[in-house]
Structure 1
């Protein structure tokens, strides 16, 4: 079998030569797969490593939470719902709000105090994002584009000199930052970047040329994190090859921005095109290493995604509050809306989605604060789930309010338009689903290849072969129930934990099936990859929900009862979705359906639109 390469793994620098028994030829031993501690990564191997999910992280003290609430208190006291509509109508924020945000320290939330920031950890930042999200997601975008991705690269990869030069003014809000990755020909495909930076003949600066599109804060920023192709000479072959490098670029000669884009939502935030015409960038402004720009970009995006989930939980709270207030006061056909089953079902599903999103946001920020670094798949899943759950919650809230929800003055229609972008930017949900599936399959493929290599020398690798063989045999005859979570969850949630175990078992078997059937060609089976990602999302969400509900039950919180009910409902419904998603990877009729979808799409695309005759023809 041809294994899928695993570019995210570290490679051994000095592989040893070994002689396999029964062969005189020497072969170079390939490095063993690097073991990940990520739950989602190991899920693709059929394992349930939940040591980072249980117990649910509690990294803030009551004093820490109070500090966060005090930071936002000046804004929450002065903010009224009409403010968001006024800012949107003007398509910008006024100086009064800008000054207030500076006084609150909102521009340097995670910047260390020695550079003038508040020094909040990830969980505190998520909390601040949540509080902002309750009022205006557009404002959250401005602040997030500034610090969550705009100057995050300086925090993560900057030298001491770079931090000392840029962070104080950025933290004080004297200067604004933005993140410049997307180009007209390179949206989700960062490898398609055309912007170039060439080293000057004297070696003192790079000359930057190109353009970026849809840059949040692009028209008001003073400091730009820019990604451009640079020629890099290979140490082994001496060949010059273009690789992406990250730069800190200051506004100055040659750097211009276009007019603000007209958008569907987040209208008060500035989004524009940015142009670079022979912009001189000092060599000291290279961020990270030359040629490592792709790694810098991915780390910035992975590190910032938990903030989006936090902001969206705030927006969802506002929507649920509006829906419940209306349902409790509006009378139809002689009864309050809240007494009707259809309304109650909507409220229940809205509450479940909010609970899952909130649980993911603070799970991710919590494990990050505890030093966990292998979270790229969990971050991607949190962003996907949060953005889709928020859309559902807001849409259903508008439905409950009826005509009133459609009116501008209620504010919900603005939330709906603002929420829509979250499924697109910082990695579209479609691409992130492929990212989750392909990264997990690469990891699992490496382990499967390791087993195949072990079979070449069975005597020396008897333990591995026996363990894997026993696991596969038990699964094939229905004796395995998957890795157990019983020791982690509260006794009242053991039935739900059993559903997770079964899901992990079936997921691992499905991954193995795909690798054996499609090998490296699985990359072309995007309809299958999407369904595999959907199952991974649901399984991870079940684990996170059970962890949080277990904490509530163990601590006997006053919300323990409803948290248990939410966990019960979500896990049972998610379990059914997992079965449906995974069956779609093998079932004959489902596979035929995918072929039919492809055929229909190809014909419509070839025709440039609808193909069938109009019914009046």
Structure 2
């Protein structure tokens, strides 16, 4: 993530000898990256204590190495610290210059290969690259600060932001390719008719760079998984009522499948809808658990049992008898994760999505895309942590040398970077197949591939998180400061290993699909 840009101010031109004269309590200057800071009044307010600033290697001296061994560069860009900057060292220039907002990182392996100078890709075209460049700038300038604020205070994402994303066509683009994009004005002037899964991959991977996992799910995660059943199987009445308001950010929807009794075992659900004798409505009773965006959803795409087998009902919050309670998980409450209860909810018969009795097919049709989106996210999140590790191991010194001078640290970096590169390559290959297969072919040939990819990519995340904490040490367990993104990743990476099907279930699914395709004459 690029840091906010440093504002220019008039600075004195000073020598190092000038700075060296100011090394006492009440008169304290230091040098950080060729800039001079007057800490005379700030010293007693220093969060790390006053005495540390009067160390003979800091007071009146160049404290660059010490500073970057303890603090993020963004600290210097905060207004309070900008006001402490009074001068610059004559004949010297700052070496630590933050990337411009929206720019690509120059750190090796910080970007997927297709975004790295001197490398090529057969998959990404001009429209993909244009979308990536413009959307990264949008994320950095319009979403990042909101994400960090909401991640910290636990409040739902700003409605104004979601509606702005709706106006720009971003919400619609997050639903993947389809007729809903044709003729619609989309972000970065991408044509709806040319929009493919690589465009969606770009959007998904740019969003997760924010390092705010709870906010990422809160940012219409429920829409991405809850709206497709309405779009693909809903009646025209339901489509007219729901699709545009949700895509515009005026209404919110979630997917309500998981229960306390039924997670990966979808068919074990107990929520039941009893159809009335005259067939005009259903009476819905039961509960759902771990429902993303459930706390602020207007619509609940709800799987349930019926006398016909299984059905998917679109339940409106204002039907009455719908109650949501906050579930506090290991990530922020900004995701709106809810325990949902349905108490004699009267659901009109025309709010059945598709047909009564076809609920399981509708639920299963949604899983491939959901799992693929999660692969996009967890693989890119892991890469972002690798970038943090490369930076940290270069600037942090231990035993008088940078961390990256230790062979054991380099071996850890080699292992996790290799896994991230392999995961991205597999993801892009699967995405290419998706772009060239019909929906039916995807279900037939890619369900196993996507399942194995998700199962493996979350194992990659596990290795990245584990090694990252070991390399960052105590900072990797601290919610603020140098290791805050590592701490957040280590605390939340496991979500993708559970949501949308656990690692073990999906690994088994992948192999079971392969076994069904085994030729009878295949013998050793």
Matched, 1:176 2:252: yes
Per-residue deviation, 1:323: 0.5
| Matches of 1:84 and 1:394, distance apart in 2 | 20
Per-residue deviation, 1:320: 0.9
1:500 paired residue number = none
Matched, 1:133 2:199: no
1:307 paired residue number = 373
> 1:64 aligned to 101, 110, 128, which one?
128
**Per-residue CA distance 1:198-237 (angstroms, 9 max, x = gap):** 22222222222211111111111112111111112xxxxx
**Corresponding residue pairs, total:** 385
| Matches of 2:374 and 2:380, distance apart in 1 | 10
* 8 Å contact kept, 2:394–2:402: yes
| Matches of 1:80 and 1:436, distance apart in 2 | 36
1:196-595 aligned within 5 A? 196-232=272-308, 243-371=309-437, 372-373=441-442, 374-409=445-480, 410-444=484-518, 447-448=519-520, 468=521, 472=523, 475=524
| Matches of 1:211 and 1:309, distance apart in 2 | 28
| Matches of 1:137 and 1:193, distance apart in 2 | 28
User: CA 1:138–1:185 in structure 2 vs 1: closer, same or farther (change >3 Å)?
Assistant: same
Structure with greater helix percent: 1
| Matches of 1:97 and 1:166, distance apart in 2 | 20
1:579 paired residue number = none
Which stretches in structure 2 are left out of the alignment for 5+ residues? 1-119, 187-191
| Matches of 1:114 and 1:83, distance apart in 2 | 30
> 1:190 aligned to 242, 256, 266, which one?
266
TM-score, normalising length: structure 2 = 0.68
Matched, 1:157 2:233: yes
Aligned to 2:493, the other structure's residue is in SS state: helix
Per-residue deviation, 1:375: 0.8
* 8 Å contact kept, 2:427–2:453: yes
| Matches of 1:70 and 1:336, distance apart in 2 | 36
Aligned to 1:265, the other structure's residue is in SS state: coil
* 8 Å contact kept, 2:150–2:156: no
Per-residue deviation, 1:185: 1.5
User: CA 1:128–1:290 in structure 2 vs 1: closer, same or farther (change >3 Å)?
Assistant: same
* 8 Å contact kept, 2:216–2:335: no
User: CA 1:163–1:64 in structure 2 vs 1: closer, same or farther (change >3 Å)?
Assistant: farther
Per-residue deviation, 1:155: 2.7
| Matches of 1:287 and 1:397, distance apart in 2 | 44
Per-residue deviation, 1:274: 1.1
* 8 Å contact kept, 2:128–2:198: no
1:504 paired residue number = none
* 8 Å contact kept, 1:218–1:257: no
Which stretches in structure 1 are left out of the alignment for 5+ residues? 1-55, 233-242, 449-467, 476-617
Range 341-350 or range 136-145, more displaced? 136-145
Per-residue deviation, 1:80: 5.0
**Per-residue CA distance 1:360-398 (angstroms, 9 max, x = gap):** 322222211212422110111121112121122122122
Per-residue deviation, 1:160: 4.0
Aligned to 1:182, the other structure's residue is in SS state: coil
> 2:197 aligned to 122, 129, 142, which one?
122
Matched, 1:76 2:144: no
**Per-residue CA distance 1:143-169 (angstroms, 9 max, x = gap):** 463233111112332344433332111
User: CA 1:402–1:394 in structure 2 vs 1: closer, same or farther (change >3 Å)?
Assistant: same
| Matches of 1:352 and 1:308, distance apart in 2 | 20
Range 388-397 or range 376-385, more displaced? 388-397
| Matches of 1:145 and 1:95, distance apart in 2 | 14
Per-residue deviation, 1:69: 3.8
| Matches of 1:309 and 1:266, distance apart in 2 | 21
1:142 paired residue number = 218
